[in-house]
Amino acid sequence: MLVNRAALGGNNNLQSLTVSSGTLSPVFNTNTTSYTVDVASGVGSVTVAAQAQDAGASVSINGSITTSLLVTLGAAGTSTPVTVIVTAPNSTTKTYTVLVNRAALGGNNNLSALSISAGALVPAFAASTTSYDVAAPNATASTTVTATVADSAATLTINGLPATSGVASASIPLAIGANAIPVVVTAQNGTPKTYTITITRAP
């Protein structure tokens, strides 16, 4: 009797490929081996999951024999390659690559609103205007400043103290004459912008 033993399978295709954040581009297709994924700057890691079509095939992700791997991404503004290798039962391999692009840190250091309790800004507020004057009567001994950042990821200080966007600052005393109050917005990427309000209290 002649017994024919079947050859080992050669299916080294993926059945599925997913990333926990962002969207594969192009859409996954078993015959497409190269993909990109764009994620936000605040995403520091993604989970890549891959399943082979053939249950007898093995899958490695970035060198680890696994079907799911947490991949730590590079710094914001960089790209991190992920290599998925499917090895068929007959040892033939197929390589899929995913390039995860982490967005750069935001550079928006603008205010979207600025007001004070001591009077009206001159000129009227505009995000691109960084110097303002306010004429205050002698009876105005203090003021609060309310500043709203355009980018929620930016940080804010008013008169040298940390402040909350959209919330009035602590009371700032005003001396007779000119009082310069700096409002500093620091973008997510560390770039600062200073708005200066000069309040002149009458004698």
Is the pLDDT at 159 greater than 60? The verdict is yes
Q: What is the pLDDT of residue 3?
A: 57
- Per-residue pLDDT tens over the stretch 51-110: 999 999 999 999 999 999 999 999 999 999 999 999 999 999 999 999 999 999 999 999
- Per-residue pLDDT tens over the stretch 101-120: 999 999 999 999 999 999 99
Cα Rg for the chain, rounded, in angstroms? 29
Contact call for residues 194 and 128 (beta carbons, < 8 A): no
Q: What average pLDDT score do residues 156-162 get?
A: 98
- The structure's pTM equals 0.70
185-199 burial, b at 16+ Cβ within 10 Å, e below that, comes to bbbbbeeebebebeb
Is the pLDDT at 160 greater than 60? The verdict is yes
Q: What percent of the chain has pLDDT over 90?
A: 94
Q: Which two tokens stand for residue 32?
A: 């497409």
Contact call for residues 203 and 138 (beta carbons, < 8 A): yes
Query: 87 - beta bridge partners?
Result: 58, 93
* Alpha-carbon distances, residue 132 vs 78, 108, 175, 198, 200 (angstroms): 39, 20, 17, 6, 11
| Closest alpha carbon to 179 in 132, 123, 113 | 132
Q: What is the pLDDT of residue 9?
A: 77
Other beta carbons within 10 angstroms of residue 139's beta carbon come to 7
Please tell me the distance from the alpha carbon of residue 120 to that of residue 102, in angstroms, as a whole number: 42
